[in-house]
Structure 1
Amino acid sequence: MEFCTTCGEQNSEEALFCTNCGKSLQNAQQKTSEKNEPKLSTQEIAPLQKMTNKQKWIYSISGSVLLVLIIVHFVLSSIYDPTKQISAMNEAYNNQDKEVFFQEFYVKEGTEANAKNFYAIVKDYGWTNLRDQLTNEVERIKKNENPDIIYNNGEFISANSKPILFGLYNKVEFTVIPTEVYIHAPFKNMTIKFGDKEVVSKSEGEKLNLGKYIPGEYAWSYSYEEGYMPLANKGNVILKAQSENIAEIDMDWNFQTVSVDSDLEDAIVYVNGKSTEKKVSELSELYPAQLNSKIEIYAQSQDKNGNAVKSEVLPLENDSIYLAFEHIRTEQKMAEHEDLIKNIYKNYRSDYASAIRYTNFDYIEEYFKEGSKIKKDYAKFVTDHDNIPGYNYDFLLNDITAFKTLSDKQFELQSFETFNYSSDKEGSTNYERKKKYVFSYENGEYFIDEIVDLDTKKTKF
């Protein structure tokens, strides 16, 4: 039994504290132990031994290692403290240090991502709002509760506890959840680039998986070389997380239809020197097309002699193109000249009859160039009839027998003309004449340059 030295209460020998007053019983037990222990004689007490250098070295190293372990523990605890991680995010965001800010988050391997994109999306979302949500998720993890996923249209960021050093420490990993991006390629063998990834379509209308991307702004482009003309376009798109984190990108293909027409519908259409193997009549609408001044279009055919002829070459600047053939235009223009000159000849013969009848050159004055010899000669011929007593003309026939283009400015017309002429002095005579008229075209006007008598047959009455 053990008695308390303070209050005298009797306690069991195993008790460390008095059951009555609560004082420690260790001193009493120690004294009891000392009483019960056999005392050694002076001869039996061993002398204290001095610590060796080796022992000193071992104790020193052990102490240093223990100190280092303690320091490392505090350092790692600080490193993996999620609260400090959020503070580092906050500092980097406020300093607009996009790279450092982005490094505080985790992105799964194979995901397209960059710091600039992520910073812009967080700014749009609201960093204060996101910071508070991240802090809440950290508190849930500390309480061993399941954290929630942060949403931004779709799943945006998740917070997860990750064991470090065999579970001695736990790091909170903030994972940016990617969106899987798809696009429908309208044609086979289209090269499509989105961000840093490039894919080629294998069939028309194929749904292409472009990969996984974190939200942000991405550059896109495409090229297509197998149509009637090379097609390409590029731009930027803001990718936001969507339901189920799947997004289908709608690129601006910029396709349009170009209507094509020509003087010759059976001419073959060429684009940038490459045959479409289609006639104008078969390719009245060119699709897919893009307006581009660097793309040139023309058509090719044959003239009446079997020679290859090419239309004018036009840049693809309008959604409607007319491919004109110069030889067709020339033929049309020549035909216009021929029709006009034949009409001029008919009018001239009618006005000539009036000028002779009334001995007035004014009727035909404008058919000749000012100051020309033929104009002077015909002015004299008309007025000289004032000196012919009893003359009369009966114009019977003015037929055009031939027409020829001498140049784009000069033309020849041949005629067969008949008339009866009579005068008091010469009596009556029938005339049959083959004549040549040479017309010129200047500044939109036609003139008679020559009138040549090729053959005349006279028959007296």
Structure 2
Amino acid sequence: MRFCTECGEAMGESQDFCTSCGTKFLSDTPETRYQRTPPMSKKKKRTLISFGLLAAVLLMAHFTLSTIFDPAKKIQAMDQAMKANNASAFLHELTLENNALLNENEYFTYLKEAGWTTMKEQLSTIITSNETNGTGKQVTDDAGNAIFLVKKRAIVPKLYYTYDIKAIPSTITVSSDIVPSTVITGDHSTKISSTDTFYDLAKAYPGTHTLEGEAENRFGTFSNQLDVLVEHPSGKQEVLFPFNYKTYSLTSNEMGATLFINGESTGLPLIELNEIGPVPSEAPLKVHAQWISHAGETIRSEVIDTQYVQGDQIELQIHKPREAEEAQAVQEEQSESDPVESGATAEGAANHVVAFRSAYERALNEHNFSLMASYLQKGSYAEKELYDYILDLETSVYTYDFRENNVIQSKKVSEQLVEVDMEEMFIFTNHLGEQTRYDRTKRYMVVFENGSYKIQKILINDTIRKDL
């Protein structure tokens, strides 16, 4: 049997044409007659050629990928960038933490000056000895600060791999001597609510970074900007954010006078404030004091503009009429001549409550808390409750007429505490002139401290209300 030399199909001995591909044989030569093995088909030839080309491509790809993912290439590129003073090219080889603050040129300069040669040697040792584990291996600078964290990463397991060199950032933490305040840098911000605590603000690499702060209190608004130099990578860098402000101590010949700031009453006597601040340096205040004489006359001090104050002390002088000064002197002499009590007495506490009622009536009608502040224990429930109540009356035109203040009983509970039960009656007149009579029984908790009585708490036991 013979075969077609073109397609390899079997042919009869006497055939001149291939019935499969149509190839014509012109002569019956020995080459055609006696060819006993089928020749390679075109299809098989194409297949073999394809396999050959694929093998060549794979071999070339293997060589290319091996070159691309050669870990040593990364270190070489970093070293070349360092020698060329090319910060961008150097940092391109690093893995930087997302949103961390970065000043490229200053960080690059830091790495150069902190000992790049030492870092390069450590990187080469890690790569050639395959030292990394699951957590990675640190690279340090000449001072021993952790700079990079090196981790091995597989591209194709057991075939191609590379090394990620992660740059380790520091953490900027901030606090301030004015709270509450807010510090901002880039897309990061944090609120500061305690002067004793440092709050995390942002991750940052060595270099200069700009922080902005803002705060507000009853005296005005504060703002400032601060350039912070992060000197070391890793760890935390504490920053005390500064605001420009002043604090003023207050003095007066009448410390019972009420302080006014920018024309508005604070509701507090000078003796309870002692000082005001922090006051923004760029937002000066105008302060004065008002005092009510024993004759009921309101006396106002000179208005002081803090932008013209030299130093940190403000003196608010009350120029009293001669009669007021004489009356006050007499009262002080009487107080000095009274025997000093060593402990609370029922009678002393009762007298204190009756005197308080008189001061309370004036405070209600004049909307001036300072007139009764000295009768109340500082920081007590009674002080807070009555301060808020007087504050709510500032714009009202109500009047109070206290008619009866009778002591039912006064009982000493302990060495320093007395319960005083009172029966009280007053007439309340509203803004329409309508009057209401109130009959009340109250219990006053009076403490004896530092040689004087102070009302700690007031309990209303019963109220009878009658429209007049």
Q: TM-score, normalised by structure 1?
A: 0.50
Q: Which has the higher contact order (CA 8 A, sep 6+)?
A: 2
Q: TM-score, normalised by structure 2?
A: 0.49
Q: Highest Rg: 1 or 2?
A: 1
